Amino acid sequence: MSAAVAVPGNRDVRVISLIGVAHGASHYYQLAFVTMLLIVRGEVGLSFSEIGLLGSLFYGVSGLGQTAAGFAVDRFGARPILAGGLAALGFMLGLISIAHSFAAFAAIAVLGGLGNCVFHPADFAILNASVNQKRLGRAFSIHGLGGSLGWAAGPAMYFLDHMFGWVGAALIGAVPGLVLAVLVLIHRTDLVDHRIKARAAASAHAGASVRALFLQAPILLCLVYFALLATNTVGIQQFAVPAWKSMFDVTENYAAICLMVFVIGSATGTLVGGYFADRVHHHERVAAIGLLAAAAFTLPVAMQTVSAALLPVILALAGFSGGTTGPSRDMIVRHATPAGASGKVFGFVYSGLDLGSFLAPLVFGQLMSLGHPATMFWIATGLYVLNAGIVTIIRQATAPSRVTAAAE
């Protein structure tokens, strides 16, 4: 009996590990792309404004393509779509080694955005179909942790450039995506096709039925939630260092350490949140409490009532509190998703992340230009509270079961 139980458990570990690393790769390439543009800026004549436009183009294409990727996942299966996304991101970074014009980099950004758009619909379709439901919370926590570690790996491009030059750095940096694409393709048995469980009900339906799925209150609220979440996350990651340097009169290195502490706290909270998500039924309560706690810890930063010495401590607590909400948040989206529509729904609602990532630099960058760094954290506090309210009412909204067939 124990051996029989061990096999599915071992498969869960393989699936969770592979999808977690794949998600980490997507975040790694998001940051590695911009990092490589900064590295080659002087060599190929790119301005900072042009780099900003290329970064926005990447996220814009990703956001627009994510819903379409969800439909592709439900039509062709998550595994080949995920493998294609990984390969596209690998080729994106490798092509930087031969690009020498803004037009060429723009084409590369489009390729990268198309590769990046597949991960959330494909990842969650695979996890929902392949992992024991009793371990889904922990699966989602590892998925989130992988993303955080992927961002942490992005600056490695600077070290590769120092050792091998920018051409070598681009080519070496392309390897992880290509290798992972092959690994995803060959794990046919472990990565279960989510369409199998819904095949009995699957059929062709009119476009109006799909629109009815997306226009439901729980689905739209999830979309808004993720847009606000990404606005907070990306805005803080990109502008917190100069903001804290100005607000608390600390060095740039000290501010960078504070940001690292915040990210590590968030990653740790994500792991802890996975265990909560597997053990509670009211995931909206876990998410709301975590978000309100994050708001409470961010408030003294906005008010500048915390000392520079205690800033890392308060940021670690804020990051941890926000991180604990991730797995429960993903469980809430799962409960709002009709059977057989994982790709469509996850693709649609997680496109909010790209929308927020696109808007955050515009809003937070303008605040920094106007000399109002503290306003960033007042906004962050407000967004935490607003999202706590949103996540509470998502589960209270009408479940989308009545249009399950229409979604498939």
- At CA 386, angle to CA 220 and CA 349, rounded to 5? 25
**Residue 98, amino acid:** I
Phi/psi for 293 (5° steps) reads -65, -40
Rounded CA-CA distance 91/107 in Å is: 12
Q: Do residues 291 and 387 touch, judged by C-beta distance below 8 A?
A: yes
What CATH number belongs to 14-191? 1.20.1250.20
Using the structure block, give the residue that is written with the tokens 């696109």: 358
pLDDT in tens, the chain (408 residues): 334 344 466 888 999 999 999 999 999 999 889 889 888 988 898 887 788 788 888 988 998 898 899 889 888 889 999 999 999 999 999 999 999 999 999 999 999 999 999 998 999 889 988 888 888 888 888 888 888 888 778 778 888 998 999 999 999 999 999 999 999 999 988 888 776 655 544 444 444 466 777 778 888 888 899 899 888 887 887 778 888 988 999 987 888 888 888 988 988 998 888 887 777 777 888 889 999 999 999 999 999 999 999 999 999 999 999 989 888 878 887 777 766 666 778 788 888 888 888 888 778 878 887 888 999 999 999 999 999 999 888 866 644 444 443 344
Please give the class, per CATH, of domain 207-407: mainly alpha
Q: What are the start and end residues of each CATH 1.20.1250.20 domain in the chain?
A: 14-191, 207-407
Rounded CA-CA distance 408/401 in Å is: 12
Give the pLDDT of residue 403: 41
Rg, Å, the chain Cα set:
21
SS3 assignment for 166-203:
HHHHHHHHHHHHHHHHHHHHHCCCCCCCHHHHHCCCCC
Give the predicted TM-score (pTM) of the model. 0.75
